[in-house]
Structure 1
Amino acid sequence: MARTLYVPLHRLVLFCIGTAGFLTAFQPPKTSFQKAFTRINKEVSDNSRAYETLSDVSQKVGHRLTGSPNGTRAEAYVFDLLTSYGFRDIRYEPFEVEAWMRDTVTLAVVPNRSDNFRDVPVVALAHSPVDAHVQGEIVDVGNGLEGDFAALKDKLKGKVALVNIGLAAPTKGARNLHRSEKTALAIQHGASGVIMVNLVPGNVLLTGTASVTGKLIPIPSVCISLESGQAIRAWMQEEHGKLHALINMTNKSRKIRARNVVATLKGSKFADEKIIVGGHLDSWDLATGAIDNGIGSFAVIDIARTLKALKVKPKRTIEFVLFMGEEQGLLGSKAMVENLKKANQLDNVRCMVNLDMTNDPTGLNAFGRSDMVPFLNTIGEGMKDIEPTFANQMQNQAGLHSDHQPFMLEGVPVVGMNGHLAREVLDCYHANCDRINLVNADQLKNTVRYSSMLLYALADSDDIPTRRQTDTQTRDYLVTQGLRTPLQIANEWRWKE
């Protein structure tokens, strides 16, 4: 799923949220995990299979779009892979989803009362209508933030909004919005269509969902390249703003069944308590999704391989989850949370760890909970003792738009890790260049090493200074983290004022 500042566009965060707790009572001694960390470090360094298996699935399966035959093949591939690593407690968790698939789309731009049509290369954004034929004057909404739309509130009805996906010349302190939130604002202001401008040079077309709910939106939303956006804006100045867009598209949408894949490592002491570590297996269909989110999902699989190979028996149960449907609206993680709610099991989830484009981590993220910082810092210092290249740079910022979100909105603690990707890699986000050649094998191995250590420490700690928040605590936490507004835009804010 596309990311904004709430989870930065490149989605470099493995998330961790804590609830209130009494840290000093629970803080583990730094030395308590050193023996296990040493074994993990050696096992991953010597035997990691993350890069090899990601390369293999990229060749044998290709893209992993939820609802497509490729998506089904990817689900079976990872099930068989986890079985080959010795897991017997492994299952599919099926869920029903409205699967969207692109068909045809064209965009033409023409001055008012002219026949000087110019065709513009374009790609449809997901959950656009199955059939749409729109003609309207183009209104440039710039970065598409709330204030940008508010300034043009009387000029957008029936028009086509031209909006940057990212922030061009961003204002200090400004937070970007997800493309789905910008589309939602355009709909609220009566726009008849949306043209998103990618800000990556090189005629790169980006895909992804334009829906905050994972359901069809009422107007077409499309993406054009940076160069096309610049050309349209220059033409608008020549024509004094009087350009019209003609968007014609057809898409497919139907109910299908997709499957999360879950492997379980049973706890030895607190078996009813769970640490869930997940990453979304699905990808968009313009390339193979090696970065988004091959590096996250195949790191999860290799963490599972590592702990199984070492025959470790942590105190808490660990569930390794490969989510489907993330790109189409966090559908697999939402389904899992709903199942846990129905089974009255959410209180047993002590922490949710999410790897989404997490690469070569440099530190942990307390995700807005200052009471978790010393606890995580102690674990990080223990990791650094084993591997000095781990910087243990603590962060403490919450975010949205990945598979941790449904857990977070139900008050489940989430624990985190921060990494980095090169600019040229990030430029291929959701684009047709997201392929295995972008993946750095050594950095992927580092993701597995450090994440395995963190996961083991969470699962084997005598206690964790966090429990599931109450509904009121969850609301207050989200407000404190500045997430109420984006959640309201996305119709995800369930609390009444």
Structure 2
Amino acid sequence: MARTFYVPRFRIALFCLSAVGSLTAFYPDKLSLQKVFTRINEEVKGHSRAYETLADASKQVGHRLTGSSNGTRAETYAFDLLASYGFKEIRYEPFEVEAWTRDTVTLSVVPYRSDNFREVSVVALAHSPVEAHIQGEIIDVGNGLEGDFAAIKNKLKGKVALVNIGLAAPTKGARNLHRSEKTALAIQYGASGVIMVNLVPGNVLLTGTASVTGKLIPIPSVCISLESGQALRAWMQEERSPLHALIDMTNTSRKIRARNVVATLSGSKYPDEKIIVGGHLDSWDLATGAIDNGIGSFAVMDIARTFKALKLKPKRTVEFVLFMGEEQGLLGSRAMVDELKQAGQLDKVRYMMNLDMTNDPNGLNAFGRSDIVPFLNTVGETMQQVEPAFANQMQNQAGLHSDHQPFMLEGVPVVGMNGHLSKEVLNCYHANCDHINLVNADQLKNTVRYATMLLYALADADDIPTRRQTDTQTRDYLVTQGLRTPLQIANEWRWKE
């Protein structure tokens, strides 16, 4: 006689619950998130201090150039502000940098074998030589992309490259290079100097580093305004004789110690796992750096304030980091990653979230890691339910040239937020007009609101699907994201072909 086996209903129920749990382990609980997000929303809308503290620091500190007395004051300001918000675990993370400071620079242009000199307003780009006195024929390299340099590769040796910082009349699909990468290409092709043309109207002079490593470069690199560039190119067309540039400059460069500022909120369940949220505190010295990167770094500090004000205790440890030295070659973030790597602690960094000129976010960016997209979709949908003004426009593309980069190159997952700035504001990037009047207080408050929600979701999740990549996985990921070529130009591609 056949025997029939019956499985108790409660065992079936337990099995089903277990299966559902395994399938949904990586998905946050919308209801619990919604409750916390609502509290975050109300707290930031009613009590944010991001704009007020940034405005105060702009007056009390001014620019925040790494290695300067202003930079030291900025570090102290951030430490004291975080302490005032109730943080007990705050530390300085010192690192040694080669601090570059501009001194004098002149640019004269003259036709060959002529004394018809014209002086051009100019600013030196870091990390130009401590002293340079060069003369050479000007060769127009246009947008300064790889193909532009390759087209004149036999004409540039010993001459001065004239290059757009941005893309004038960009080619479809063309991806601009960083000014440091364009300078690296000029050096590779034997140029004796570089003249960068800003593409912002209004005689705006732009500064920033022309070094991919944060170390001194062998040739001078300078910036002139759009109007000066237009006049120079028109003169080159009119003049029968080649135009020559004479660049004279002096700068200073010396070893100093700068400090990242780190406030720690210990995790309640997984204290050894950490989420790092950071923004660079330093700025260039032509203005106060309110946009680059006051809005990011002071948002980070206000996110920290919000966690304390609401007594949020997520499962993972959160480190709020104000990086120094970003403008001079990601020096502070490189130092932190090196220290974590030497201590065998990089695997414990589950995510790095970077706020660099992030303003009024309209969506989240998975940075090319598809395994986190379902998680972020749930987070974004919940954010939109709490604040319908949040557009929740998902992106999934990685990039370079900010403090997330050293983490990303070591396989640490990175997440970002898609913000926007008006053209008027972007025109003052690294320029002498980057002051507090550019900052929109409500948009800065939005950055704090949405970034706090995203940070909490990551820090409090039962599990996070994304893991640190192996070295081979990191290489393949960077190739897929189209980042191999710029990293090769920057001499940061460590993998052999």
Q: Does the Cα contact within 8 Å between 1:181 and 1:212 map onto a contact in 2? A: yes
Aligned twin of 2:93? 93
Q: Does the Cα contact within 8 Å between 2:366 and 2:372 map onto a contact in 1? A: yes
241 and 454 in structure 1: CA distance in 2 versus 1, 3 angstrom threshold: farther
Deviation at 1:31, TM superposition (A): 2.1
Aligned twin of 2:442? 442
**Aligned partners of 2:58 and 2:241: how far apart in 1?**
45
**Aligned partners of 1:26 and 1:70: how far apart in 2?**
44
Aligned twin of 2:330? 330
Q: Does the Cα contact within 8 Å between 1:209 and 1:329 map onto a contact in 2? A: yes
Counterpart secondary structure, 2:142 = coil
Q: Structure 1: which amino acid aligns with 2:431?
A: A
Taking structure 1 as the reference length, the TM-score comes to 0.95
Q: 5 Å matches for 1:270-309?
A: 270-309=270-309
Taking structure 2 as the reference length, the TM-score comes to 0.95
**Aligned partners of 2:415 and 2:166: how far apart in 1?**
27
Counterpart secondary structure, 2:335 = helix
Q: 5 Å matches for 1:259-408?
A: 259-408=259-408
Counterpart secondary structure, 2:414 = coil
| Pairs aligned (count) | 476
Counterpart secondary structure, 1:26 = coil
Q: Structure 2: which amino acid aligns with 1:246?
A: L
Counterpart secondary structure, 1:256 = strand
Deviation at 1:342, TM superposition (A): 1.1
Aligned twin of 1:14? none
Aligned twin of 1:50? 50
**Aligned partners of 2:483 and 2:27: how far apart in 1?**
29
Q: Structure 2: which amino acid aligns with 1:493?
A: W
Q: 5 Å matches for 1:191-206?
A: 191-206=191-206
| Structure 1, gaps ≥5 residues long | 1-21
Q: Structure 1: which amino acid aligns with 2:410?
A: E
| Structure 2, gaps ≥5 residues long | 1-21
Aligned twin of 1:469? 469
Aligned twin of 1:410? 410
Counterpart secondary structure, 1:469 = coil
**Aligned partners of 1:197 and 1:496: how far apart in 2?**
35
Counterpart secondary structure, 2:297 = helix
1:232 is the counterpart of 2:232: yes
Runs of 4+ in 1 over 6 A off after TM superposition: none
Q: Structure 1: which amino acid aligns with 2:383?
A: M
Q: 5 Å matches for 1:113-192?
A: 113-192=113-192
Q: Structure 2: which amino acid aligns with 1:121?
A: S
Counterpart secondary structure, 1:149 = helix
Q: Does the Cα contact within 8 Å between 2:156 and 2:190 map onto a contact in 1? A: yes
Deviation at 1:241, TM superposition (A): 6.3
Deviation at 1:23, TM superposition (A): 8.2
Deviation at 1:27, TM superposition (A): 1.8
**Aligned partners of 2:296 and 2:23: how far apart in 1?**
29
**Aligned partners of 1:29 and 1:260: how far apart in 2?**
34
Q: Structure 1: which amino acid aligns with 2:363?
A: G
Q: Does the Cα contact within 8 Å between 1:23 and 1:372 map onto a contact in 2? A: no
Deviation at 1:370, TM superposition (A): 2.1
Deviation at 1:32, TM superposition (A): 2.9
Which protein has greater RCO, CA pairs closer than 8 Å, 6+ apart?
1
Higher deviation after alignment, 236-245 or 74-83: 236-245
**Aligned partners of 2:207 and 2:174: how far apart in 1?**
24
**Aligned partners of 2:208 and 2:156: how far apart in 1?**
24
Deviation at 1:447, TM superposition (A): 0.2
Q: Structure 2: which amino acid aligns with 1:295?
A: I
147 and 23 in structure 1: CA distance in 2 versus 1, 3 angstrom threshold: farther
**Which structure has the larger Rg?**
2
**Aligned partners of 2:485 and 2:32: how far apart in 1?**
42
**Aligned partners of 1:159 and 1:332: how far apart in 2?**
35
Q: Does the Cα contact within 8 Å between 1:23 and 1:465 map onto a contact in 2? A: no
Counterpart secondary structure, 2:86 = coil
Q: Give per-residue Cα distances to partners, 1:294-322, cap 9 Å, x unaligned.
A: 00000000000000111111000000000
473 and 241 in structure 1: CA distance in 2 versus 1, 3 angstrom threshold: farther
Deviation at 1:239, TM superposition (A): 1.1
**Aligned partners of 1:162 and 1:282: how far apart in 2?**
29
**Aligned partners of 2:45 and 2:446: how far apart in 1?**
8
**Aligned partners of 2:414 and 2:434: how far apart in 1?**
28
Deviation at 1:371, TM superposition (A): 2.2
**Aligned partners of 1:107 and 1:298: how far apart in 2?**
37
Q: Does the Cα contact within 8 Å between 1:168 and 1:199 map onto a contact in 2? A: yes
Aligned twin of 2:210? 210
Counterpart secondary structure, 1:136 = strand
Q: Does the Cα contact within 8 Å between 1:38 and 1:386 map onto a contact in 2? A: yes
Aligned twin of 1:7? none
Aligned twin of 1:11? none
Q: Give per-residue Cα distances to partners, 1:356-404, cap 9 Å, x unaligned.
A: 0000000000111222222101100001110000010001111000000
**Aligned partners of 1:83 and 1:73: how far apart in 2?**
15
**Aligned partners of 1:241 and 1:368: how far apart in 2?**
50
Q: Give per-residue Cα distances to partners, 1:254-292, cap 9 Å, x unaligned.
A: 000000000000100000000000000000000000000
